[in-house]
Amino acid sequence: MKILSALICFCITSLVANSQWIPLNSTTNKDLYNIKFLNENYGIAVGDGGTILKTTDEGSTWITLPFSADDDFRDVALLGTDTIFVSSVNSTSPTVYRSADGGLSWQKVLVAGLPISICTTEDSHIFAATDSIYESEDGGESWVGEYDFSGTLVPFDIQFVNKETGHAGANIGGFVTYSAIVIRTADGGNTWSELDVFSFPNAAALTAFSFTDPDTGFLFMNEFDLFSPSDSSQLIRVHDFQLTSLGYSLWIFEYDSLNFDFPDYVNDCDFFSSKIGYAVGNNGIVYRTMDDGSSWIDDYSGDESLFAIDMIDENTGYAVGASGTILKRGFGTGLISTLSFDSELPIFPNPSTQQSVLNFYLPIPSKVQITIRNSNGKIMEEMSQSLLQGSQSINLNTSVFPAGAYMVQICDGTKLLTTKMMVAH
């Protein structure tokens, strides 16, 4: 009997009351495209039709800020509770507006030819990525152009991981698809250089990215066909950047392929150095990883597409999406897990021929999600059950899997357990 290698991941999510995603009353049915929090109390969400929402009480209540036009907003940045920047995607004149009085009044501070992404830095500078990259050091009063995009490049996001290191993501139109372009600065925006496109694993488009430190980033990519996106994405980790000069400056880097069959078109993501990360996409799911993106669980599942996520810390954050959706992942960082295997034989029988039983203990009533993956990380089967507190026994139908060596992982959102299983037919 020949035994082949494969992999199964079973991820069990305990939805602890102070750590689950909760839909909030946004008071609007407009699509919301971005959200930023200054601290755990104060946040701004923006969307279509001139929608600007503000909360000062951890999202419990949202007020609509006055705006005289019906611009469709796509980004927001905060320099304080009084100084707010929002950017529109008006077809003729994408604009950055600034409020210096907490959102009571607004003025145009930057008009460009392409949609504008904006962000702030630790030293209170603000950057805008559009047909060029602009920087303001005086709260938006004046702007200096620092890098010109050219051709058919369309930038969609700019982020700084500290006051020195920042990245702007863009895509360039080709014959039947889009390809990623990323530019990087390591001197606070004084100089920008492209990442070597030939260092990427393929010519896919970039849809979302997040850097945990100046030398480590996570990129979601999608292979468009005839300019239509596929319904799955690829996740890579980039690291070990070096600036070279081959007649012009270019950043070369190493990459790791983490997941080449992520089951969604990803619109935004947020990663932490602790290996925890989140992603949101068109399927209305908030995905969560505890191992740097190798495996994921559904942290929340809803009906509306999700467009942006802003995590304040590893357990606390917000997501926004279609039809006025605002989700909150509850505050409370003192999550204690007592998840454990229920015996010295967590899977029995092992090896398994037709069926085995997975034994574990749940400290509280939980919604359990079980995901089965092959050795390439591809999801083979998914199931979910709501279980009571106590000892659990889950039947595993191993007759449908090829013979081989399997790994079983159990996670409750704060703790990860691993055991092995053999299948023999």
User: Do 128 and 170 reside in the same domain of the chain?
Assistant: yes
- Tell me the C-alpha to C-alpha distance, in Å, between residue 4 and each of 142, 350, 374, 375, 408: 63, 16, 11, 10, 16
Encode pLDDT of 224-269 as tens digits.
766 677 888 999 999 999 999 776 799 999 999 999 889 999 999 9
Question: What residues have CB less than 8 Å from 354, skipping those under 6 apart?
Answer: 397, 398, 399
State yes or no: pLDDT of 338 exceeds 70. no
CATH number at residue 345: 2.60.40
User: Do 290 and 204 reside in the same domain of the chain?
Assistant: yes
User: Do 145 and 240 reside in the same domain of the chain?
Assistant: yes
| pLDDT given for residue 398 in this prediction | 83
Q: Are 422 and 350 in contact (CB under 8 A)?
A: yes
User: Do 181 and 276 reside in the same domain of the chain?
Assistant: yes
User: Do 261 and 126 reside in the same domain of the chain?
Assistant: yes
User: Do 185 and 308 reside in the same domain of the chain?
Assistant: yes
Please indicate, yes or no, if residue 15 is contained in any of the structural domains.
no
Please indicate, yes or no, if residue 346 is contained in any of the structural domains.
yes
| pLDDT given for residue 186 in this prediction | 97
Q: pLDDT-derived band of residue 8, with 50, 70 and 90 as boundaries? A: very low
Please indicate, yes or no, if residue 57 is contained in any of the structural domains.
yes
| pLDDT given for residue 131 in this prediction | 86
State yes or no: pLDDT of 394 exceeds 90. no
State yes or no: pLDDT of 413 exceeds 80. no
User: Do 320 and 348 reside in the same domain of the chain?
Assistant: no
Last residue of a domain, one of 288, 305, 329: 329
Q: pLDDT-derived band of residue 375, with 50, 70 and 90 as boundaries? A: low
Reading the block at residue 185, the tokens are: 């600065």
Please indicate, yes or no, if residue 240 is contained in any of the structural domains.
yes
Query: Would residue 260 be called left, alpha or beta, if left means φ above 0 and alpha means ψ between -120 and 50 degrees?
Result: alpha
Last residue of a domain, one of 304, 329, 354: 329
HSE-CB at 297 with a 13 A cutoff on CA atoms is: 25
Quote the number of domains for the chain.
2
User: Do 408 and 312 reside in the same domain of the chain?
Assistant: no
Q: pLDDT-derived band of residue 421, with 50, 70 and 90 as boundaries? A: confident
Please indicate, yes or no, if residue 16 is contained in any of the structural domains.
no
Encode pLDDT of 160-212 as tens digits.
999 999 999 998 875 446 788 999 999 999 999 999 988 888 778 899 999 99
| pLDDT given for residue 115 in this prediction | 82
| pLDDT given for residue 346 in this prediction | 85
Q: What is the mean pLDDT of residues 34-50?
A: 95
Encode pLDDT of 108-157 as tens digits.
999 988 888 999 999 999 999 998 999 999 999 999 999 998 766 778 89
Please indicate, yes or no, if residue 14 is contained in any of the structural domains.
no
User: Do 293 and 358 reside in the same domain of the chain?
Assistant: no
Q: What is the mean pLDDT of residues 270-290?
A: 94
User: Do 324 and 379 reside in the same domain of the chain?
Assistant: no
Q: pLDDT-derived band of residue 372, with 50, 70 and 90 as boundaries? A: low
User: Do 48 and 117 reside in the same domain of the chain?
Assistant: yes
Q: DSSP string spanning 334-403?
A: ------EESSS-SEESSSBSSEEEEEEEESS-EEEEEEEE-TTS-EEEEEEEEE-SEEEEEEEEGGGS-S
| pLDDT given for residue 396 in this prediction | 84
| pLDDT given for residue 342 in this prediction | 61
Question: What residues have CB less than 8 Å from 33, skipping those under 6 apart?
Answer: 46, 47, 48, 73, 74, 75, 307, 308, 320
| pLDDT given for residue 226 in this prediction | 65
Last residue of a domain, one of 294, 309, 329: 329
Encode pLDDT of 297-330 as tens digits.
898 999 999 999 999 999 899 999 999 999 999 7
Highest mean pLDDT pick, 124-128, 177-181, 383-387, 393-397: 124-128
Q: What is the mean pLDDT of residues 33-46?
A: 96
Segments forming the whole domain that contains residue 378: 4-9+336-423
Q: Are 374 and 10 in contact (CB under 8 A)?
A: no
Q: Tell me 90's DSSP state.
A: -
Q: Across all residues in the chain, what is the average pLDDT?
A: 84
Please indicate, yes or no, if residue 67 is contained in any of the structural domains.
yes
| pLDDT given for residue 392 in this prediction | 85
User: Do 117 and 164 reside in the same domain of the chain?
Assistant: yes
CATH number at residue 262: 2.130.10.10
Strands (E), 186-232: 193-195, 205-213, 216-222
Please indicate, yes or no, if residue 128 is contained in any of the structural domains.
yes
In whole angstroms, give the CA distance from residue 276 to residue 154: 30
